Amino acid sequence: MRDMVFWMNNRTKIIIKIYMKTKLKLFQLSLFGVLLLAACKGSNGKYDASGTFEATEVIVSSEAMGKLMQFNVQEGDKLSVNQTVGYVDSLQLYYKEKQLLASVKSLQSTRPDINKQIAATQQQIATALTEKARIEKLLKANAANQKQLDDQNSLLAVLGKQLDAQKSTLQNTDQSLTDQSSSLAYQIDQLKDQLAKCKIINPIAGTVLTKYTEAGEVTALGKALYKIADIDNMFLRAYITNDQLSKVKIGQQVKVYADFGSGSKAYQGTVSWISDKAEFTPKTIQTRDERTNLVYAMKIAVKNDGYIKIGMYGDVTF
Q: CA-to-CA distance for 260 and 268, rounded, in angstroms?
A: 17
Quick one: pLDDT at residue 194? 95
Q: What are the phi and psi torsion angles at 247 (to 5°)?
A: -95, -5
Quick one: pLDDT at residue 222? 94
Read off the pLDDT of residues 164-212 as tens digits, 9 standing for 90 and up. 999 899 889 889 988 999 999 999 999 999 999 999 999 999 999 999 9
C-alpha distances in Å from residue 271, one per residue of 105, 251, 281: 60, 5, 20
Read off the pLDDT of residues 114-130 as tens digits, 9 standing for 90 and up. 888 899 999 999 999 99
The answer, yes or no, to whether residue 39 has pLDDT greater than 50, is: no
* DSSP one-letter code for 110: T
Q: CA-to-CA distance for 285 and 47, rounded, in angstroms?
A: 13
Q: Are 311 and 231 in contact (CB under 8 A)?
A: no
Quick one: pLDDT at residue 10? 52
Read off the pLDDT of residues 260-291 as tens digits, 9 standing for 90 and up. 888 889 999 999 999 988 887 665 555 555 54
| Band (29; pLDDT cuts 50, 70, 90) | very low
CA-based torsion, 11, 14, 19, 20: positive or negative: positive
Q: CA-to-CA distance for 250 and 179, rounded, in angstroms?
A: 56
Q: How much is the pTM?
A: 0.68
